[in-house]
Amino acid sequence: MSDREVPREEAAGSRDRLLDMFEAAAGQYLSGEEISRRLGVSRTAVWKQIRRLKDAGYVFDAAPKLGYRLAASAAALDARRIEASLRTRRFGRSLTVLARTDSTQTEAENLARAGAPEGTLVVAEEQTSGRGRQGRVWHSPPGRGVWMSAVLRPEGPLTAVPQLTLLAAVAVCRAIRAETGVQAGIKWPNDLLADGRKLCGILLEAVVEDGRVRHCIMGIGIDANLEEADYPEELRQKVTSLRRESGKEVDRSALIAAVMNEFESLLSLHAEHGFQPIRLLWESLSVTLGREIVVRDARGERRGRAAGLGEQGELRLETEDGEVLPVYSGDIELYPGRASGDDPKER
Ligand code: BTN
């Protein structure tokens, strides 16, 4: 059987084992001969697999006699480059960069349970089981996105958690605008859109014990350098990426640091002055306010105008008969807008 005829699952399996091998080598060279012996495939197959990984955004150094190693470069996520751009005291200071994981949420959750401090950050080149809000799948292909999760240890009550979600959206939106020039806007509660298409999603998962927040995991997925071909067919009309919007390759390491910088400074603002300044920032970046919307939540479907944010970060929905209803969770659809069904693949 030629390399081209290798079944898809088998190819993915050997690619995963190849990445594991490079990760375990921790920056040391591996010869083509050694790789082919350990994987039980031909040298040509190894070379083709490496070429596929390069196409997916991984960067390799190749040296005669030594072989290949996974390289650090502007294109690949690089802990040193992220750290060099941080202006924080806590956020991103404890940093794990992974080539591949099932979900950075799970990685950060394990670290939080083991006592990791607030601001601990996990970033991955690829997620094999990335998850989104409402049990959806978050498509996280290798080498082109920003898939990251941070540990939060809020001291306030559980009711303040939605405010953190909105704060996170403001932080990411400001970082994106400053780093890339893309004029992203926030769709309630915390999706970022450009040209009406989604380019970032945020998932805040809170672990509660005895009515108190033990910790939260803030997951952020940004479609930084994804191309149309990186998405499954059914997502292509609904999504966009920073590269597509700006026409330029995004430096993901710099963007990660910028998000951490913004988040920490907004968290201080929140601690000192409460939710009001965050609410004003959120409203100024919103693409939801003033729009006709449909809300879908546990109570069913309601229509109205997005009138503003309430004290706890809830959306105030003004119905046709002038009643103002608070919306605490759920999905909204903007009119005129793109349909938002319950397809588990949908973002
Ligand atoms: C949404 O549904 O809009 C939220 C998507 C959140 C995706 C991010 S990617 C990093 C982190 N790890 C995950 O598995 N999910 C979040």
Helices (H), 229-288: 242-246, 252-273, 276-285
The answer to whether residues 327 and 317 touch, using CB atoms and an 8 Å cutoff, is: yes
**What separation in Å is there between the alpha carbon of 66 and the centre of ligand 1?**
38
On whether both 129 and 15 belong to a single domain, the answer is: no
On whether both 141 and 63 belong to a single domain, the answer is: no
On whether both 84 and 216 belong to a single domain, the answer is: yes
Structural domain including 309 reads 292-334
279 within some domain: yes
**What separation in Å is there between the alpha carbon of 47 and the centre of ligand 1?**
33
On whether both 119 and 268 belong to a single domain, the answer is: yes
Of all protein residues, whose CA lies closest to atom 16 belonging to ligand 1?
Answer: 219
**Residue that terminates a domain, selected from 49, 72, 95:** 72
DSSP state of 58: -
Of all protein residues, whose CA lies closest to atom 7 belonging to ligand 1?
Answer: 221
The answer to whether residues 194 and 226 touch, using CB atoms and an 8 Å cutoff, is: no
* Residue 21, token pair as written in the block: 């091998």
Going by C-alpha positions, the residue among 158, 181, 184, 160 that lies closest to residue 171 is 184
On whether both 31 and 94 belong to a single domain, the answer is: no
Which residues, in sequence order, are CB contacts of 250 under 8 Å at separation 6+? 179, 180, 224, 225, 242, 243
**Residue that terminates a domain, selected from 285, 311, 326:** 285
Q: Structure pTM?
A: 0.80
On whether both 51 and 146 belong to a single domain, the answer is: no
346 within some domain: no
pLDDT in tens, the chain (347 residues): 333 333 444 455 677 788 888 878 877 899 999 999 999 999 999 988 888 777 655 678 889 889 999 865 446 787 888 999 999 999 999 999 998 999 999 999 999 999 999 999 999 999 999 999 989 999 999 989 999 999 999 998 888 899 999 999 999 999 999 999 999 999 998 899 999 999 999 999 999 988 899 999 999 999 999 999 999 999 999 999 999 999 999 999 999 999 999 999 999 999 999 999 999 999 999 999 999 999 988 778 899 999 999 988 899 999 989 999 999 888 888 876 443 433 444 56
HSE, side-chain direction, 13 A CA sphere, residue 250: 31
Count of domains forming the chain: 3
Cα distance between residue 326 and residue 10, in whole Å:
51
* Residue 297, token pair as written in the block: 């939540």
On whether both 154 and 249 belong to a single domain, the answer is: yes
**What separation in Å is there between the alpha carbon of 130 and the centre of ligand 1?**
6
**What separation in Å is there between the alpha carbon of 224 and the centre of ligand 1?**
14
Query: Ligand 1 — pocket residues by CB below 6 A?
Result: 103-105, 127, 130-133, 136, 138, 140, 147-149, 191, 201-203, 219-221, 347
262 within some domain: yes
On whether both 188 and 323 belong to a single domain, the answer is: no
On whether both 229 and 118 belong to a single domain, the answer is: yes
2 within some domain: no
Q: Which letter, b or e, does each residue of 46-76 get, where b requires 16 or more Cβ atoms within 10 Å of its Cβ?
A: bbbbbeebeeebbbbeeeeeebbbbebeebb
**Residue that terminates a domain, selected from 18, 50, 72:** 72
347 within some domain: no
On whether both 230 and 87 belong to a single domain, the answer is: yes
On whether both 230 and 302 belong to a single domain, the answer is: no
Of all protein residues, whose CA lies closest to atom 14 belonging to ligand 1?
Answer: 130
On whether both 214 and 264 belong to a single domain, the answer is: yes
Cα distance between residue 140 and residue 126, in whole Å:
6
Q: What is the domain-level CATH number for residue 134?
A: 3.30.930.10
